[in-house]
Amino acid sequence: MGVIKIEYIYASLLLHSAKQPINEENLTKVLSASGINVDKTRVKAIVAALSEINIDEVIKSAVAMPVVSAPAQPQPVEEKKEEKKEEEEKKEEESVEGLSALFG
């Protein structure tokens, strides 16, 4: 049979959201309407698997999971160039000051 595809899960959630029974007939209709070639074995498998699951509880537990914040965005290239220029200017000033101390 293979792995149940995500489209079958989405169709099942759509039926659940619409308060329609998740059965072979309804699931096949939703999948067919979306242009998917329906695998009857997969339909039977997902209907059987979902009959033992409380979808509302699964959704609640999924929503309760902590959200991870996105990593900081990298700086645009232009800002990095400006920072490098400033650093180079500081180095040049320091080297000039160092030379004047030598010849004092």
- Give residue-wise pLDDT tens across range 10-28: 999 999 999 999 999 999 9
Domain boundaries, the chain: 6-63
pLDDT per residue as tens digits for the range 46-102: 999 999 899 999 888 887 656 666 666 666 666 667 777 777 776 666 655 555 555
User: Hey, which CATH number is domain 6-63, 3.40.50.970, 1.10.10.1410, 3.40.50.360, 3.40.250.10?
Assistant: 1.10.10.1410
Alpha helices in the chain (DSSP H): 6-17, 24-33, 40-50, 55-63, 77-103
pLDDT of amino acid 89: 73
Residue 24 has a pLDDT of 97
Half-sphere exposure of 22 (CA within 13 A, CB side): 23
Predicted confidence at residue 63, as pLDDT, reads 72
